[in-house]
Each structure stands twice: as structure tokens, then as C-alpha cells.
């Protein structure tokens, strides 16, 4: 049956409209509407989790919202692997400290991923320092006093960290090398359990991200002896840096970055980076960064790729010199 002229015109108009809609796709060509996931490889309550929740609120828009998914285990590898295997539409991102992408793959005999091959950097968002702390009732009130005790009692110098392969793990390893005797590493799944055992007297000290320790330090439950930043921090003006305390090798600043699967379209990751830049500049995110004691540090995907390469090169020599390898 022939189509009437008016109907054919309508059909042509509809077809043209559909074609125009296809051509005029948004700059975010694949990212799905609805719920998107921000994977974090560490438990609730830590720096990564708190930062992820603050960022998720600012990344949300009218078309989609973000939910933080804590996928813990294997030194952050499980969360990274979940993003690697996710549908590559931009709907799954990894928020992670630098060690998960630069140090961990070099430590494990069979890492779950290859950072350069399996991921594309989206943006760097912030950085923070680490700190060495003892129990609030400890007789050690300085790095020198604690190091003297540790040198005499290496087998009793247990140090808690958020997990094997983390920056704090290597800080403890390097401190042991400076003392001339290996210390006893006690890895936990996240920051909070290790801090609880420090306050309970089950471990002698801890290396941990500074943001998670300040509240307990101010309450007198732990005592921060030194920070790993290049300069003293405004939040702890009376606490020296390790360099000031005579241990410049124990200087370490860790960044946090967002990564997507390497299979995600370049236009999508570029748009994601722009969204992150907008979010990080918001008053709400700046206030959250101040509350979390992290330093905002937006850098685009290309700059983050350079950071990854620099850190991988830095850790490679240290890993080889220590001989540490994880199963």
C-alpha cells in the first residue's frame, strides 16, 4: 500500500530528526545515565573512603549520581581489578592512592593488572603526607627517643600499616634499614584497625596517612612524632618533619588519582576529567579537603600519567633493594 504524501513527509522528518540526534551526541559519548560507581579499595572511615564520598557528591549531576563501592583486599588490587573488568562506558571509576597503581604491581609476584596497559589516568585530585605515631601514653616524645629505643629493641618494634604494599609499609621498611635492623610489620585491612591496636597497646607504633590520625592526636590518644612532608604542616606546627629530625630518606607524599579502564573512549575520559576539575574547584569540595586534611591538587590525565611513570621509576629501585615480594 503506498504511503500518503503527508505521511511520507512526516516519516522523512522523523528520520532526519533521529539522524540529527545521533550526530549531536553529547561530549560524554558513552557514560551512562543513572547510577555510576566510584570504586575505593579501602574500608569505610579511611581517607580514601571519605574523599570518595565527598567527591561523589560533587560529581553528581541531573542525569546521574555516583555511589562509592568499597571493594577491599589485596592491597587495593580488588577495586582496581573491578574497574579494569567493568563495562568500559565511563560508569566505573577508581579513586586510589598512588601506591596501588605504582608500588603494589611491582611487589606482587602475580599482580592483577598492569597499570600502563589496563588503565587510563583521568585526573589527580589531592595529596597528603604520612606520619609516625606512638601511643598517647608512650614515654617517647621525639623521633630521636623512639629511634634509640627501636634500635635497641627491633623485635619489639611492631608497626601497624593499612596493608602490605602500602606507602606506610615501605616507610617502616626504610626506617628499619636506617636503624640497621628490620622492624616487625603488622599489616591491617585499612587504617582504623591499626590505630585501634596502637591505642590499645598491641603495637609499638604506626605509619599511616596523616588525615586519619589528627583527631586521635589532638585527643591525646596517640602522639605524632614526625611527618613525611617536605615542610612542617599548618595543622601540626609543633611536629617536625623527618628531614628536620635527621631522616630525610623518610620523606613521602602520596597523591590520589582517578582512573578508568583503558578501554573507555578518550572523549569520555576527557569529559570525566573536566567534570572532576569542576568538582574539585567547588566550595564544598575545598571545604571537604580542609576537613579531611588533604591538599587539593587537580592535574589532568596527561599530568597524572607522568606522575605514575615517575613514581613507578622511584619505587622500582627501592623494591629491588629491599627484596620484598608479596604473594
Same domain? For 41 and 106 the reply is yes
Same domain? For 168 and 271 the reply is no
Q: Is residue 25 part of a domain?
A: no
Same domain? For 263 and 241 the reply is no
Q: Is residue 151 part of a domain?
A: yes
Cβ neighbours, 10 Å, residue 5? 8
Q: Is residue 269 part of a domain?
A: yes
Cβ neighbours, 10 Å, residue 125? 25
Same domain? For 227 and 289 the reply is no
Mean pLDDT by 10 residues, the chain (327 residues): 39 39 38 84 91 95 86 95 97 97 95 98 97 98 96 96 91 92 92 95 96 95 98 95 96 97 97 96 96 94 98 92 85
Q: Is residue 24 part of a domain?
A: no
Dig out the grid coordinates for 83 from the structure.
574497574
Q: Is residue 192 part of a domain?
A: yes
Q: Is residue 21 part of a domain?
A: no
Q: How far apart are CA 123 and CA 272, in angstroms?
A: 8
| Dihedral class, residue 217 (left if φ above 0, else alpha if ψ from -120 to 50, else beta) | alpha
* CATH number of the domain enclosing 105: 3.40.190.150
Domain final position from 221, 250, 279: 250
Q: Which of 137, 130, 128 is nearest to 198 (CA)?
A: 137
Q: Which domain holds residue 209?
A: 129-250
Same domain? For 151 and 225 the reply is yes
Domain final position from 232, 250, 268: 250
- Angstrom CA distances, 307 to 118, 249, 304, stand at 16, 20, 5
Check residue 312 and give its pLDDT.
96
Domains: count for the chain: 2
Same domain? For 139 and 242 the reply is yes
Same domain? For 244 and 142 the reply is yes
Same domain? For 152 and 230 the reply is yes
Same domain? For 227 and 243 the reply is yes
Check residue 33 and give its pLDDT.
66
pLDDT, tens digit (0-9, with 9 covering 90-100), for 103-138:
999 999 999 999 999 999 999 999 999 999 999 999
Same domain? For 91 and 146 the reply is no
Q: How far apart are CA 227 and CA 210, in angstroms?
A: 8
Domain final position from 218, 250, 282: 250
Same domain? For 243 and 260 the reply is no
Check residue 24 and give its pLDDT.
34
Strand partners, 257: 96, 124
**Chain Cα centroid distance, residue 5:** 62
**Chain Cα centroid distance, residue 245:** 27
Q: How far apart are CA 11 and CA 312, in angstroms?
A: 58
Q: How far apart are CA 54 and CA 74, in angstroms?
A: 25
Q: How far apart are CA 65 and CA 54, in angstroms?
A: 12
Q: Are 98 and 258 spatial neighbours (Cβ–Cβ below 8 Å)?
A: no
Check residue 34 and give its pLDDT.
75
Check residue 31 and give its pLDDT.
59
Check residue 28 and give its pLDDT.
40
Check residue 12 and give its pLDDT.
38
Check residue 101 and give its pLDDT.
98
Same domain? For 269 and 300 the reply is yes
Check residue 300 and give its pLDDT.
98
* CATH number of the domain enclosing 173: 3.40.190.10
Q: Which helix (H) or strand (E) holds 207?
A: strand 205-209
Reduce the DSSP state of residue 32 to 3 states and report it.
coil
Amino acid at each position: 500500500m503506498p504511503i500518503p504524501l503527508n505521511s511520507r513527509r512526516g516519516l522523512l522528518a522523523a528520520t532526519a530528526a533521529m539522524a540529527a540526534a545521533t550526530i549531536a551526541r553529547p561530549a560524554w559519548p558513552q557514560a551512562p545515565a543513572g547510577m555510576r560507581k566510584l570504586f575505593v579499595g579501602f574500608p569505610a572511615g579511611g581517607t580514601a573512603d571519605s574523599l570518595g564520598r565527598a567527591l561523589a557528591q560533587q560529581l553528581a549531576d541531573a542525569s546521574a549520581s555516583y555511589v562509592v563501592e568499597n571493594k577491599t583486599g589485596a592491597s587495593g588490587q580488588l577495586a582496581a581489578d573491578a574497574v579494569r573488568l567493568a563495562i568500559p562506558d565511563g560508569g566505573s571509576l577508581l579513586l586510589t592512592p598512588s601506591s596501588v597503581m605504582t608500588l603494589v604491581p611491582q611487589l606482587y609476584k602475580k599482580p592483577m593488572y598492569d597499570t600502563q596497559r589496563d588503565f587510563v589516568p583521568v585526573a589527580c585530585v589531592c595529596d597528603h603526607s604520612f606520619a609516625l605515631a606512638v601511643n598517647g601514653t608512650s614515654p617517647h616524645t621525639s623521633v630521636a627517643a623512639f629511634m634509640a629505643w627501636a634500635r635497641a629493641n627491633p623485635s619489639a618494634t611492631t608497626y601497624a600499616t593499612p596493608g602490605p604494599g602500602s606507602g606506610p609499609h615501605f616507610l617502616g621498611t626504610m626506617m628499619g634499614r636506617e636503624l640497621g635492623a628490620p622492624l616487625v610489620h603488622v599489616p591491617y585491612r585499612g587504617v582504623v584497625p591499626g590505630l585501634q591496636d596502637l591505642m590499645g597497646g598491641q603495637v609499638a607504633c604506626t605509619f599511616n596517612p596523616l588525615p586519619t590520625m589528627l583527631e586521635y592526636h589532638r585527643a591525646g590518644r596517640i602522639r605524632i612524632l614526625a611527618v613525611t612532608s617536605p615542610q612542617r604542616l599548618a595543622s601540626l606546627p609543633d611536629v617536625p618533619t623527618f628531614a628536620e629530625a635527621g631522616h630525610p630518606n623518610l620523606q613521602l607524599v602520596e597523591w590520589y588519582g582517578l582512573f578508568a579502564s583503558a578501554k573507555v573512549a578518550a572523549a569520555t575520559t576527557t569529559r570525566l576529567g573536566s567534570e572532576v576539575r569542576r568538582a574539585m574547584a567547588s566550595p564544598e569540595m575545598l571545604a571537604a579537603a580542609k576537613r579531611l586534611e588533604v591538599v587539593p591538587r587537580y592535574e589532568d590525565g596527561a599530568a597524572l600519567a607522568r606522575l605514575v611513570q615517575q613514581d613507578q621509576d622511584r619505587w622500582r629501585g627501592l623494591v629491588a633493594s629491599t627484596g620484598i615480594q608479596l604473594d
